Structure 1
Amino acid sequence: MSSIPRPPYDPELAPGLAAIKFSPTVTMEMIEYVLEQSAPTSEQALSGRKVVHREEKIAGPQGDITISIISSPPGQSATTKYPGIFYTHGGRMFAGNRFLGIGPILDWVEESDAVCVSVEYRLPPEHLDPAHVEDCYAALLWVYSHLDGLQIDPDKLMIAGSSAGEGLAAGVALLCRDRGGPNLCAQVLICPMLDDRNETVSSNQYISEGSWSRGSNLTGWACLLGSRRGRGRGGEDVSIHAAPSRADDLSGLPATVIDVGSTEILAS
């Protein structure tokens, strides 16, 4: 499929987008640079926020996993239960940390007295699929076994993220269904990175432009899936937990919100 004309940008966004110097395509050679630019510190992410933050080290499939627990300042009874948000950060499948893109989640913490648990999962290409989803699933199991201590309402635990993290969130939700839990009340998928095949119209509307081009998307999926026979990018045996758009059966999943633009290359 050749390049397809894209719809116009929203007039309110066009000036800001024009002022940003985007690289048309992220290549494997650029990964180290992107890593350096996409790892905010806790101080940067939480500055000015009325929240309490603490870290925990928990057991993961291949060693300890660091999680951040973020909540509103104490002020109510220790028996009060709050909504819980399990956050899987974005980062194009190969970058970021547990504070990247967490701003909207912190808004929910402040506005709804929610408790957020954000997980530092292993990153591709050093760790291929299923390392990332298994780390997140292990962290979610930990959260589910510590609901009382975290003061999370067991009926109000959801998973959320953005970009690659939302593709990961969707994969974890499928894993929860397929393994019989933990139970999630909802998944919030904001511009989710869902499909390694890149066959949609949207995928071919941004061949070499925008903040995330088709070529960049292919790089991200190559980092996650590698070149393994049948399980590499576009392979016939890619897991639905890695690329959730490959799932034919969506039964048994929690209530789902998907937030995308009129064209969405990430969901390709």
Structure 2
Amino acid sequence: MSLVDPELRASAEAQMAQPLPPLTVAGLPTLRAMWAAPDRLAAPAPAVIDRTVKGLGAAPPVAVEVIGQGSADARHPAILHIHGGGMISGRAKNLTPFCQDLAARFDCLVVNVDYRLSPETPFPGPLEDLYAALKWLHDDAEALGVDRSRIAVMGESAGGGLAALLAIMARDRGEIPLCLQVMLYPMLDDRTGSTLTPPSHIGAIGWNAAANAFGWTAFLGAPAGSAAVPPQAVPARVSNLADLPPAFIGVGAIDLFVDEDVQYARRLIDAGVPTRLVVAPGAYHAFDFVVPEAKVSREFTQAWRSALAAAFGQTEVA
């Protein structure tokens, strides 16, 4: 606890008093039910439109929330947002107010995607859902009032890892240019918690090594850390990171993902990708959502907001 930022300690103690139970397939309904969907922000917050877009190939339609509105005479930037939940839980609606704030703050359109969860839908299904939504956003940009040159992808935790995979897929397919990938404490390496053991003080609060191994195994359809992992399914295992869009990576210094996130940022830099890395001292997983008023959370949030503003060609966003 001495390593935790003082403003984050009360929440850290509460989390350690009720640690995450061992995850099992049978226990997933209970885990998923624990996610409470907050009320959407009322007007004058940007409106939320629920719709579906065509899935890739024979895949089912993808549910999305379209938040904010562009206009034909003024093309707006756009964010494709990807929620977290360890690949196994969470829903788009859990982050609806967050996405409404994004839309208002950046005067942009936000597409908040309800991708299919694992293990019911393993890789590549969830990623294909996200690509289908991204392709719709790009292809229908004129009707949506979106500037195709200012589309960013953003996600937290598992959503951050999926944002990394989506940026790789977009590069490989050569169909959709992205101006930025924002990854907040992203889940990037299946080996963390399986074949790689972090120091005891890393990942002790919130998402832990055992949960990480479970989540990756569910997503991959193969044991986390094994040689049976599908190609292009794990960002940290992708050999070529060149020609990816500029990146922002932010993580807490005692988050389970800190080592893999720092390593991924270094590899992006080595590949010539403009990259900003922020490591928040004394911060655990999702600290900025848990204690948003803490100084370390406010500084962390301002850092990624500044990166988005710069990518959108906007002045500094408060």
Q: Does TM, scored on the shorter chain, surpass 0.5?
A: yes
Match of 2:52 among 57, 79, 82: 57
Show the counterpart of 1:176: 170
Call closer, same or farther: CA 1:45–1:192 in 2, change over 3 Å.
Answer: farther
Match of 2:35 among 17, 34, 38: 38
Call closer, same or farther: CA 1:170–1:253 in 2, change over 3 Å.
Answer: same
Task: Tell me if the contact between 2:80 and 2:112 (Cα under 8 Å) persists in the aligned partners.
Answer: yes
Structural mapping, 1:145-156, within 5 Å = 145-156=139-150
Determine the C-alpha separation between the residues in 2 that align with 1:159 and 1:255: 11
1:189 aligns with 2:186: no
Structural mapping, 1:1-268, within 5 Å = 8-20=3-15, 21-28=17-24, 29-38=26-35, 40=37, 44-47=39-42, 50-61=45-56, 62-71=59-68, 78-198=72-192, 199=195, 202=198, 204-206=200-202, 209-227=204-222, 232-239=223-230, 241-266=232-257, 268=260
Determine the C-alpha separation between the residues in 2 that align with 1:216 and 1:140: 29
Determine the C-alpha separation between the residues in 1 that align with 2:191 and 2:158: 15
User: For residues 21-74 of structure 1, what are the alpha-carbon distances to aligned partners after superposition, in whole Å with 9 as ceiling and x for unaligned?
Assistant: 432444114311111122626xx24356611111222211321111110006x8
Determine the C-alpha separation between the residues in 1 that align with 2:2 and 2:110: 36
Task: Tell me if the contact between 2:109 and 2:146 (Cα under 8 Å) persists in the aligned partners.
Answer: yes
Pairwise CA RMSD of aligned residues?
2.3
Determine the C-alpha separation between the residues in 2 that align with 1:7 and 1:240: 40
Unaligned runs of 5+ in 1: 1-5
Determine the C-alpha separation between the residues in 1 that align with 2:62 and 2:147: 23
AA in 2 matched with 1:151:
G
Q: Between the two proteins, what is the percent identity of the paired residues?
A: 30
Task: Tell me if the contact between 1:171 and 1:240 (Cα under 8 Å) persists in the aligned partners.
Answer: no
Query: Which secondary structure state, in structure 2, belongs to the residue aligned with residue 168 of structure 1?
Result: helix
Unaligned runs of 5+ in 2: 261-318
Task: Tell me if the contact between 1:124 and 1:223 (Cα under 8 Å) persists in the aligned partners.
Answer: yes
Superposition deviation, residue 108 in structure 1: 2.3
Query: Which secondary structure state, in structure 1, belongs to the residue aligned with residue 136 of structure 2?
Result: helix
After TM superposition, the structure 1 stretch with the greater mean CA deviation from structure 2, 121-130 or 236-245, is 236-245
Superposition deviation, residue 18 in structure 1: 1.4
Query: Which secondary structure state, in structure 1, belongs to the residue aligned with residue 6 of structure 2?
Result: coil
Task: Tell me if the contact between 2:216 and 2:224 (Cα under 8 Å) persists in the aligned partners.
Answer: yes
AA in 2 matched with 1:143:
L
Query: Which secondary structure state, in structure 1, belongs to the residue aligned with residue 93 of structure 2?
Result: coil
Flag the structure with more relative contact order, 1 or 2, with Cα contacts below 8 A and sequence separation at least 6: 1
Call closer, same or farther: CA 1:203–1:213 in 2, change over 3 Å.
Answer: farther
Structure 1 or 2: larger helix share? Answer: 2
AA in 1 matched with 2:210:
G
Show the counterpart of 2:274: none
Call closer, same or farther: CA 1:202–1:192 in 2, change over 3 Å.
Answer: same
